[in-house]
């Protein structure tokens, strides 16, 4: 299986990612063996509010990278709403131009309810695609919440796709995300308000450097390809910056450190909840709070001493 993945066999890539999604215990060993073959891919995270045209934009980017002869993997984090009867992110991409191109691999990943687990599954899927020779890996996510920020922290560059005419609301909507954007795209820039938004973003970015990288703002119209070459240039500049201008080892090591800490926090949380479920009877503690004798913070402090003892 390892050698099939390393040779880029799509069936085995798909199988590995399914094992990751299902948390199949056998995947742990596979991952640790694949890990030494990773580190070559450039990972792009793309996010933005609904309706901004992310799928079309990604479709254009795939074409651009293919023209540079780069193999492109896409992981579309899919909230898989029970309401939507419509097409899902990955499908939407697949249905477009790249379905038969062996240099393109597109995979949906259901977000489910696994907040920390989703970042882990994404990280591992990136490693699988990385090890199997994809040069560029695009991770698309749409409003997956805090886990979205966790996922984007894994990537090498974060592209945030906005559009004009969304009102102030839309800028407010993802305040936590704006801080981690490396490249801002104003898509549908033929709509009214694009230039005003451009000016605003530039003003904002002036005060917002990430490790000496000044975020770019690019105006695009993804449906006709306007601005895509600028976006590609910006992504390549970011790649160049990370590889050469930054202290590359320390950049990488900092990412690794954060990954280890994220994994640990998730694992602490899981074992705490298990411990509470198996060993600790919370009922009497809950009762005292219910009777307003202590508040939830005090109850948590009591629980802490129980756990420590």
- Positions in 61-120 near a second copy (CB under 8 A): 78-89, 111, 113, 115, 120
Residue 147 CB, shortest distance to a second copy, in Å, is 6
Q: Which is nearer to a second copy, 98 or 120 (CB)?
A: 120
Residue 189 CB, shortest distance to a second copy, in Å, is 17
**Of 4, 173, 237, 239, which one interacts with a second copy (CB under 8 A)?**
173
Site map for a second copy, 262-301, x if CB under 8 A?
-xxx-xxx--xx--x-----xx-xxx-xx-xxxxxxxxx-
**How many residues would you count in the chain?**
309
Q: Which is nearer to a second copy, 16 or 170 (CB)?
A: 170
| 279 φ/ψ angles, rounded to the nearest 5 degrees | -115, -20
**Of 1, 2, 6, 166, which one interacts with a second copy (CB under 8 A)?**
166
**Of 56, 127, 157, 216, which one interacts with a second copy (CB under 8 A)?**
127
**Of 142, 218, 221, 228, which one interacts with a second copy (CB under 8 A)?**
142
**Of 11, 100, 102, 249, which one interacts with a second copy (CB under 8 A)?**
249
Question: Rounded distance, CA 103 to CA 48, Å?
Answer: 26
Q: Which is nearer to a second copy, 30 or 232 (CB)?
A: 30
Residue 109 CB, shortest distance to a second copy, in Å, is 13
Q: Which is nearer to a second copy, 197 or 232 (CB)?
A: 197
Q: Are the C-beta atoms of 159 and 185 separated by less than 8 Å?
A: yes
Q: How many residues bind a second copy (CB under 8 A)?
A: 91
Q: Which is nearer to a second copy, 229 or 270 (CB)?
A: 270
**Of 229, 243, 260, 274, which one interacts with a second copy (CB under 8 A)?**
260
Question: Rounded distance, CA 73 to CA 4, Å?
Answer: 17
Question: Rounded distance, CA 60 to CA 73, Å?
Answer: 14
Question: Rounded distance, CA 79 to CA 94, Å?
Answer: 17
Q: Are the C-beta atoms of 57 and 187 separated by less than 8 Å?
A: yes
Question: Rounded distance, CA 74 to CA 40, Å?
Answer: 16
**Of 8, 117, 145, 193, which one interacts with a second copy (CB under 8 A)?**
145
Q: Considering only residues 189-218, where is the footprint of a second copy by CB under 8 A? A: 200-201, 204, 207-208
Q: Which is nearer to a second copy, 236 or 263 (CB)?
A: 263
Residue 203 CB, shortest distance to a second copy, in Å, is 9
Question: Rounded distance, CA 225 to CA 133, Å?
Answer: 27
Residue 80 CB, shortest distance to a second copy, in Å, is 6
Q: Considering only residues 18-47, where is the footprint of a second copy by CB under 8 A? A: 28, 31-32, 35-39
Q: Which is nearer to a second copy, 69 or 281 (CB)?
A: 281
């Amino acid at each position: 299986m390892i050698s099939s993945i390393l040779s880029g066999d799509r069936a085995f890539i798909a199988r590995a990612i399914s094992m990751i999604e299902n948390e199949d215990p056998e995947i742990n060993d596979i991952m640790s063996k694949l890990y030494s073959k990773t580190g070559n891919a450039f990972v792009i995270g793309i996010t933005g509010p609904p309706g901004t045209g992310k799928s079309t934009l990604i479709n254009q980017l795939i074409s651009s990278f293919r023209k540079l002869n780069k193999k492109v993997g896409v992981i579309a984090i899919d909230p898989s709403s029970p309401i939507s009867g419509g097409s899902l992110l990955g499908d939407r991409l697949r249905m477009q131009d790249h379905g038969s191109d062996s240099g393109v691999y597109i995979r949906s990943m259901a977000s489910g309810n696994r907040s920390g687990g989703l970042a882990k599954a994404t990280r591992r899927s990136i490693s699988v695609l990385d090890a199997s020779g994809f040069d560029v890996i695009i991770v698309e996510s749409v409003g997956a919440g805090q886990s979205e920020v966790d996922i984007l922290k894994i990537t090498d560059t974060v592209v945030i796709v906005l559009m004009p005419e969304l009102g102030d609301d839309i800028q407010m909507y993802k305040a936590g995300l704006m801080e981690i954007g490396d490249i801002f795209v104003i898509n549908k820039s033929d709509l009214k308000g694009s230039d005003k938004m451009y000016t605003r973003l530039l003003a904002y970015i002036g005060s917002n450097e990430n490790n000496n990288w000044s975020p770019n703002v690019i105006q695009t119209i993804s449906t006709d390809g306007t601005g895509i070459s600028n976006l590609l240039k910006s992504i390549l500049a970011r790649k160049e910056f990370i590889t050469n201008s930054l202290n590359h080892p320390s950049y990488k090591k900092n990412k690794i450190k954060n990954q280890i800490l994220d994994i640990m926090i998730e694992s602490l949380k899981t074992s705490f909840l298990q411990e509470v479920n198996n060993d600790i009877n919370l009922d009497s503690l809950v009762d005292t709070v219910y009777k307003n004798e202590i508040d939830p913070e005090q109850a948590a402090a009591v629980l802490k001493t129980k756990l420590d003892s």
